[in-house]
Structure 1
């Protein structure tokens, strides 16, 4: 289920909970005194302030507002501008608590106008501090009104004043608030940088509530950029301080954040096991997480999150925090498939919501609860929760959104309501409401909401058989997603948001729709070239966005020259193959050199059968005695992938096949595909390369006049970060053999293989190849994709600091990275995403890697043969790899020894 509108599900469901405001009420009060008599109050507005503070602290905000308004009027009559402004600031804060955000905004503006004039005249520290505090409160009100950029500006102004008057506490608060607002805008890395500015200040400060909040904010943003282990560490520090300073609010809030971290860990684990049928996904699809049956770790994560949320609700005296914790508790229960408990919690939340004044927070909770109720309704198939009841709750949320003039919430609620009508098959009303949601979201430029309802509208139009307009809606959704890239990259840690469930289906449904014939009964129908172009472009965008989501950063810039230009202008013997697995068929788009028209082939086989075949083949390839099973399954793969193309490939005298692979196909080395008729593996017929995306490869190749190889590795047993790595007994021989084959090579083994030593070598010598023979693992989790060095596990995110020491435009850039002892993570269906990540992040033009590790003399022989072939400048890298594989194939026969090697990137 998608709750993309609220980007960090429940890092702060209610943003105002996390905003640190220093309520002014600047006059000291002796709370033991009784409140003065009415006539004294009239004569002395200070007594009104005392009364207002007591009322505010006891939660009687309406009475506090009346007292403050009266006091402000008296101060104005007395000509006491400073106290008038201070009182107005407190009034604006109180009005905001009442949900009267428009009045709160006009009141704080009036206060700031007075304070700005006073400050220009007086220029004293006291006035400046009150001005800064008022700007802080203005920032909170602006954020509640959805004016996030203006809120950031207000907090920047307050921060500047605090710097000038040397108020470190105020400066810290302002930066924390800025970071929270940046998170709301999806600027997670900026938020992290903002928080890191105050880290030195926090270290000097004594433990306090502000320090606890700052650490929690940092932990939250670390979670959003995917650093879950570090997030856990920082959040635990925040919790310890919250307990030390005895702040129930911060204890509960940090317990919620710790629960979120466990949910993120659980969802990350679940993605390794699950494959989805995207054909019927919508923005409101409830995905039942089956991985809890496959992975005890995933189930443990969700259970721990459940406990943390329960504890957070129990420890809080605030209704709003209880709701926050219970909404998250509801998510955890649904992940654990505890539906009856979920229903009880849902009723509790609904009851609590009735006790809280209407504001953005309560509207959010209503929408969120409605979405959860949809999942409960589907799971329980019960009339205890009716569609009418859910729809009524959403209608209320829409009315309340209009009342507080929150078009953003209105747009979201309209789309969810449209989704409910879609669920009950009322297509006309579903379309009407969804169209309203799209129009409103586009009008206010809420692109994170707009793409959801553009997607939903495309889905509805397709149901109606209106393919043309459905395609247009999907085009709008895809274009919106392109402009949303900065925001999508860090959402992997969101409790509810899932790239797999909330983004990938948009692209896959779009591709499916583009490649459907107008008449499904006419299988000879020709798909238009424009549709083929759009489908291929959508596949490119999906793979690019998937890699950015893997890294949690939107800095992967596709090359300006597409892969087409390489086959058209540089290598006219290469063809590019794009297989796309859809629910009921396999679609293949073929790009031939110097031909503007794409070839298109449809194989009517179900995704389930294709993926089961690929899963079995992947398993058998890692077992040396399974050669017959491998041939049987890879023959089937040949019939699906290659047979339909054979005539076109032969007519063009193609020698190299470049695959842009999709889904489970990435787990199979294409060279192992078997042509039973001619008793040949594909590698015996063609040189083969993989492209991580249509544009994610360098379009030029360096000259290999003299190979300069830096060959490094680890042969000894190691234990790093609690993981034990076995001895690789053949590594020393492998590195020596490379030095013998290419005499200009330099080798470093064991304790000499450190990041610093490699960096120094690459800076000094123009190596064209870096060869690493060490344990490594490719995973769908960037934090678990690594290469073992002597001192540490080099994570994929840090690969650029290893090899990107020279500009890629320089003639001395590293051309080829070879990883000879790596493997894909066991049981991880998306593990080869890690290989693509390594290939892109390393910055080399090409990467040769192994999909499974073969610590055997065959590896030494293979690498020796490969470098002999690579030294021949007449051969492309893909042809050099092919010849080396054939040499090993002729000797060892079984694919276990020769098939794991793949070339990713430029094949020339």
Structure 2
């Protein structure tokens, strides 16, 4: 049996989404929720009794009104009851009433942390199919648009320990989405197996269909938004699509240009100007050559007469067109105008972007303009929403990433002569701010426990901290070694033979090959990655050393322990390895191995939840007992909870001071943290709830020293989704975490955990105990020597 996060079955849970949450404390089967009965694809045909049409209309109107003015509070508790009106044996409601109801229920599921993305997909697909079948193009377009956003917001498969997902990664998703379906996007959504498609394929079809249906219904607003989001999606995919990148950029350009004519029909002037500006920018990002449609878009933006924001966008667009035409002087004048008008806005979010453009138009003063962009970003960053209200992209990807990368670039480009040490120090500070901003943007600053940042001068002899920096044109390595009295970061010569995309492709090849254990493609990939990342600092890794890596982007999903040197020795055979999401959210640790009070919680039963159906597990109970046993005897101060509930964790952590928490269950730690969860008996525990539970434990003493998560998987090919594992550990508030990056068989997990806990209790540090446990498996030969098993486990955070 395998374990880890995999594709959950796409059958709807018997208890139903609404019923589970309304009766979470009830054991056993709850009554089927109305939304399940009416909105599961093809499910409503079997329903014989319905609420009145008026009650469904009222429920829909209340939900849509509440969602339109949603704030920080989760609307789920308020609206779940409203969406479950009593059945009155009335006749079947009209398709219009049913479709609008299911579209509202699906949107609630989509946006609520307590909602299920699987359920949202099912409800919205049902809404689309009902509306489409009845010729209700306006409702069908809204349902399709929302369906497209579901797949973009987070992974839609539930975390399921015990099964593997479909072999994937960016390359596979791109190949599937690139296959011509031989049908229009709306026809794709009518296919019975559409929910089994990759998120990318489903999003492309849904957004394309939404635009088509909205145009047919005369709804320019929804059509323009769907086209903008589709163009932005294709452009984002192009960044990591390898050979398919050019094709995706061409599609993004086509969509953006077509969207310009659609956006002209948006009634609201301010929204019309905003969408026109974003479409034009996307077209230029996809292909720099100007087209007549883009110049006309600038005129239309000005004609909208929508104030400083529109004037700013129009001037910046005209500047980009001038720059593309080779008129740098005109571009500079227009950008100065754009900056003046942008500064007049209450929240001048585009100041950093316009200053980056000015750096392009004025290369002689590039550094000054880039650093001005960085300072402007630092001023507005605390005020930016986590997700853009128009496209739901993260604020980090939309406003921050390019500025951070450019600031690091100019600092390192000027790191020569007497200024080198100062420049490298400043670049490292920017990189650290970069890592923190990304974590906070994806997971929310309110979700991340505050820590005292790790200071390089606190590193001990033999401890090496490595910052790989993946830039569009090169790989940079910064590092610092402890115990030499200096503790200053040093820069290695930049490697221009690779860039961010090349490294991302190597990581994807290695991780997919290792996790599925079907071929040897991982060997040349990890060999190249060793040469790129480790060989330049190899001399610093003396026997007994510790290498702590602060990974960038795709490197977060890489098991560094498995990297191979030119003697075919794994990195873990040379040194201990730890991963740190950022210096602000990690620390070396105290080295105190006396803190051994342990709580192990396991789940072996089948569980049905809104997030999916989770099969019965075997081996998790034994794994929990292994964690609590030494030499055949239960260790003192340990507790084991089988088939645990949330209340069991609360009670145990309230009653006792726990140092080590071991969770052996299904889990999902990918994507947005507000939907990350672990599965308990009859319920799921949101990661944010787990953090609150652990916070209560910390009030009585030190924070949790070690969190072991043997049921998770890190996404490959998506920078933000690949933060899931690091984010889970950081958000939970533990000093350290040990987690699996992909599904591992129960026997291998049990063997590694048995060795780890034995060594840890014998006084080894966390990094030393994990390393020796992995070495034992390598040296044992047989199945456990396969890196598919031992390399899956990684240490995050404190290593001492």
**TM-score of the superposed pair, with normalisation by structure 1:** 0.64
Query: Which residue number corresponds to residue 308 of structure 2?
Result: 407
Indicate conservation of the 8 Å contact 1:225/1:490, yes or no: no
Q: Determine the structure 1 residue equivalent to 2:597.
A: 708
The equivalent position to 1:530 in structure 2, one of 419, 422, 426, is 422
Describe the shift of the 1:221–1:576 C-alpha distance in structure 2 as closer, same or farther (beyond 3 A).
Answer: farther
1:557 offset after TM fit, Å? 5.2
Residue 697 (structure 1) aligned to one of 574, 586, 598: 586
Match of 1:474 in 2: 373
| Residues 1:544 and 1:225: Cα distance change in structure 2 (over 3 Å) | farther
- Please give the alpha-carbon distance, in whole angstroms, between the structure 2 residues aligned to 1:256 and 1:899: 46
1:267 aligns to 2:152 (yes or no): yes
Find the aligned partners of 2:230 and 2:279 in 1 and give their Cα distance.
Answer: 11
315 and 609 in structure 1: CA distance in 2 versus 1, 3 angstrom threshold: closer
Q: Which residue of 2 aligns with 1:610?
A: 503
Relative contact order, CA 8 A, sep 6+: which one is greater? 2
Identify the residue that residue 640 of structure 1 maps to in structure 2.
Answer: 532
Select 1:837's aligned residue among 714, 722, 727. Answer: 727
Q: C-alpha distance in 2, partners of 1:740/1:201?
A: 49
Where 2:72 maps in the other structure, the secondary structure is helix
Q: What is the SS of the residue equivalent to 2:452?
A: coil
Equivalent of 2:409, from 489, 512, 523?
512
Corresponding position of 2:548: 658
What CA deviation, in whole Å up to 9, does each residue of 1:361-396 have, x standing for no partner? 2254145335535656898999xxx74553354245
- String of CA shifts for 1:146-200, please: whole Å, max 9, x gaps: xxxxxxxxxxxxxxxxxxxxxxxxxxx999999968x7xxxx416x57x988999
1:775 to 639, 659, 666: 666
Match of 1:561 in 2: 452
Q: Structure 2 unaligned runs (5+)?
A: 1-60, 87-92, 157-167, 180-196, 235-250
The Cα offsets for residues 179-224 of structure 1, whole Å up to 9 and x where unpaired, read as 968x7xxxx416x57x98899999999x9x9xx9999999879866
1:423 corresponds to which residue?
324
Q: 1:292 to 1:507 in 2, by over 3 A?
A: farther
Q: Name the CA distance, whole Å, in 1 between partners of 2:230 and 2:68.
A: 28
Count of residue pairs brought into register by the alignment: 678
* CA deviation map 1:601-632 (0-9, x unaligned): 134221244333322222333366867x6554
C-alpha displacement of 1:763: 0.8
8 A Cα contact 1:713 1:774, kept in partner? yes
Q: Which residue of 1 aligns with 2:220?
A: 323
Structure 2 SS opposite 1:822:
coil
**Structure 1's 641 and 698: CA in aligned 2 closer, same or farther, altered over 3 A?**
closer
- 641 and 796 in structure 1: CA distance in 2 versus 1, 3 angstrom threshold: same
| Equivalent position SS for 1:661 | coil
Is 2:696 the counterpart of 1:805?
Answer: yes
Corresponding residue for residue 762 of structure 1? 653
Larger CA deviation: 850-859 vs 226-235:
226-235
1:853 matches 2:755:
no
**Partner Cα separation in structure 2 for residue 898 and residue 174 of structure 1:** 52
SS of structure 2 residue aligned to 1:666: helix
Which of 383, 391, 400 is matched with 2:295 structurally? 391
1:581 counterpart SS class = strand
Find out whether 1:897 has 2:780 as its counterpart.
no
In the TM superposition, what whole-angstrom CA distance separates every residue of 1:47-67 from its partner, at most 9, and x where no partner exists? xxxxxxxxxxxxxxxxxxxxx
Contact 2:601/2:663 (CA < 8 Å) preserved in 1?
Answer: yes
1:880 counterpart = 2:769: yes
Displacement of 1:707 = 1.3
SS at match of 1:744: coil
Contact 2:154–2:670 at 8 Å: present in 1 too?
no
Contact in 2 for aligned 1:544/1:556 (Cα 8 Å): no
Q: Residue 587 of structure 1 aligns to a residue in which SS?
A: strand
Secondary structure of 2:799's partner?
coil
Question: Partners of 1:527 and 1:559 in 2: how far apart?
Answer: 33
- 2:577 is aligned to 688
Larger helix share, 1 or 2: 1
Give the Å deviation of 1:769. Answer: 0.7
* C-alpha distance 887-759 of structure 1, shift in aligned 2 (>3 A): same
Q: Which residue of 2 aligns with 1:365?
A: 272
Query: 1:338 and 1:576 mapped to 2: Cα distance?
Result: 39
Counterpart pick for 1:484 among 351, 373, 383: 383
Q: Distance in 1 between matches of 2:66 and 2:743?
A: 47
- Indicate if the aligned counterparts of 1:274 and 1:291 stay in contact, CA closer than 8 A: no
Supply the distance in 1 between the matched residues of 2:465 and 2:727 (Cα, whole angstroms): 21
The answer (yes or no) to whether the contact 1:266–1:299 under 8 Å persists in 2 is: no
Paired residues of 1:310 and 1:325 also in contact (CA < 8 A): no
After TM superposition, the structure 1 = structure 2 runs for residues 23-34 of structure 1, keeping only pairs within 5 Å, are none
Instruction: Indicate which of 177, 180, 187 corresponds to 1:292.
Output: 177
Residues 807-841 of structure 1 deviation map (CA, whole Å, 9 limit, x = unaligned)? x4642532211112433347766553110111012
Which residue in the other structure is 2:353 paired with? 452
2:701 match: secondary structure: coil
- Residues 493, 533 of structure 1: alpha-carbon distance in 2 compared, 3 angstrom cutoff: farther
Q: Which has the larger radius of gyration?
A: 1
Separation in structure 2 between the aligned mates of residue 659 and residue 340 of structure 1, nearest angstrom: 41
Counterpart in the other structure of 1:67: none
Q: Deviations over 1:324-371 (max 9, x none)?
A: 134235436756849889867754654x57xx7xxxx22541453355
**CA deviation vs aligned residue, 1:707-734 (integer Å, no higher than 9, x gap):** 1111122345555447455555433333
Separation (CA, whole Å) in 2 of partners of 1:224 and 1:723: 17
Match status 1:736 vs 2:625 = yes
Matched, 1:862 2:752: yes
Q: Give the TM-score normalised by structure 2.
A: 0.71
Q: Structure 1 residues 738, 339: CA separation in 2 closer, same or farther (over 3 Å shift)?
A: closer
**How far apart, CA to CA, are the structure 1 residues paired with 2:618 and 2:739?**
19
Equivalence for 2:704: 814
**Post-superposition shift, 1:225?**
7.2
Alpha carbons 1:303, 1:332 under 8 Å: kept: no
Q: Is the 8 A contact 1:219 1:232 kept in 2?
A: yes
Aligned counterparts of 2:63 and 2:613: Cα–Cα separation in 1:
42
Q: Paired residue for 2:39?
A: none
Work out the CA distance in 2 between the residues paired with 1:662 and 1:831: 13
Name structure 1 gaps, 5 residues minimum. Answer: 1-172, 276-287, 317-321, 519-523
Classify the secondary structure of the residue corresponding to 2:662.
strand
- 1:301 and 2:206 correspond: no
Change (3 A) 1:684 1:302: closer
Secondary structure at the counterpart of residue 903 of structure 1: strand
User: Cα deviations across residues 640-678 of structure 1 (Å, max 9, x unaligned)?
Assistant: 22222233455xx8722211011222222222223334x
**Correspondence for 2:52:** none
SS of 2:696 mapped into structure 1: coil
Contact 1:660/1:690 (8 A) holds in 2 = yes
Matched residue SS, 1:837: helix
Deviation, structure 1 residue 771 = 0.8
State whether residues 476 and 494 of structure 2, in contact with CA within 8 Å, keep that contact through their aligned partners in structure 1. yes
Which residue does the alignment assign to 1:543?
Answer: 435
In structure 2, C-alpha distance between the alignment counterparts of 1:306 and 1:765, rounded to whole Å: 54
- Alpha-carbon distance in structure 2 between the residues aligned to 1:477 and 1:756: 46
Contact 2:523 2:564 in 1 (8 A): yes
- What SS is found at the alignment partner of 2:354? helix
